[in-house]
Amino acid sequence: MQFPAAQIALIVSGKVEGNPETSVDSFGKIEEAKEGQLTFFANPKYEDFLYSTKASVIILNEAYELKHPVTASLIRVPDAYTAFATLLSKYQEIMQQQLTGIQQPCYIAKTALYGQNVFIGAFAYLGENVKIGNNTKIYPNAYVGDNVIIGDNTIIHPGVKIYNDCKIGNNVVIHGGTIIGSDGFGFAPQADGSFKKVPQIGNVIIEDNVEIGSNTTIDRATIGSTLIKKGAKLDNLIQIAHNVEIGNSTVIAAQAGVSGSTKIGNGVMIGGQAGIVGHIQLGDGAKVNAQSGVSKSIESGKAVTGSPAFDYTSALRSQAASRKLPELEKRVKELEALVKQLLAEKVS
């Protein structure tokens, strides 16, 4: 399928510089793109490739001034990276719209309901009273338990498991291997040293426009709901414990873990391999550096690092000071020697 530069410019609200009829049929990285492909330039590190790429169409920032002539047709936009992401989303949407129908074999309970233009892949399981919205895609080997509700335009990738009673919103993407609604880690210690399981009878609610990476686990609440709010983005291999709440547009990188009943505000950024204890709060806009261990609540807008995590700026100062310790030790020894010399001269 061919797309002319003029049509692409309409999609990304850009302006064509060059031949508007130049057509492309695929995408390519700027350093590898071939004739007939589209690429983008946003990172100055790749500036040399802007002038050597063989791509036919290039998206770039409107403020960028060319240093040499280019042969490709250009599409000028305010933000090339965002425009390219918009274009990829549109392309993906077009491709996914072609995927509809119900493959066999699969199991769909008689009480399950689904909307228009859905796709249900082979070996998928839809339990009793499941409700699936319009244009939603359930890929092969997915499990959707009893009473689960999934909204419109949502994508459930292969191997995802959604336990009973959970609710998934509109425009949600859940990647392969992720488990939604498994039991929270609740065990009551007994007098004899054993542990009695505390039944986990709540659910998980995932609101609109959330994306969850592969092999992430989100535990159901003991009672009530584990809640992932609108626009949150979770990476691969993340553990979210029971009764956690994650705020709007919060992002969490891979291998992070959030313990039970912790409340995370809106617009929070949590780096990879960070660990967060239970029953604390992270205020809106807080930032947690990678591999940090957060053991107490964080105020809104505050950045922390380290284990245990503390103020980011103070941590950098401490690191800078620690690098100077050998020099400081040397100076202390010199001062000690000088003091001894002065005392000896005074005595004599």
What average pLDDT does the segment 106-117 reach?
97
C-alpha 272/C-alpha 284 separation (Å) is 19
User: Which pLDDT does position 186 carry in this prediction?
Assistant: 94
Q: Which of 44-58, 171-185, 222-236, 309-323 has the lowest mean pLDDT?
A: 309-323
**DSSP line for 159-186:** T-EE-TT-EE-TT-EE-TT-EEEEPP--
Q: Please report, in angstroms and rounded to a whole number, the separation of the first and last CA atoms in the chain.
A: 98
Residue predicted with more confidence, 162 or 325: 162
User: Which pLDDT does position 319 carry in this prediction?
Assistant: 75
* pLDDT higher than 80, residue 304: yes
C-alpha 240/C-alpha 215 separation (Å) is 12
What average pLDDT does the segment 279-286 reach?
98
* pLDDT confidence bin for 54, thresholds 50/70/90: very high
User: Which pLDDT does position 243 carry in this prediction?
Assistant: 98
User: Which pLDDT does position 52 carry in this prediction?
Assistant: 96
Average pLDDT along the chain: 94
Q: For 298, which DSSP code?
A: B
User: Which pLDDT does position 348 carry in this prediction?
Assistant: 66
What average pLDDT does the segment 326-344 reach?
87
What average pLDDT does the segment 327-338 reach?
88
pLDDT digits (tens, 9 = 90+) for 27-36: 999 999 999 9
Instruction: Give, to the nearest 10 degrees, the angle between helix 325-347 and helix 312-323.
Output: 50
For residue 279, is it left (φ>0), alpha (ψ between -120 and 50) or beta?
left
Query: Catalytic residues, which ones?
Result: 242
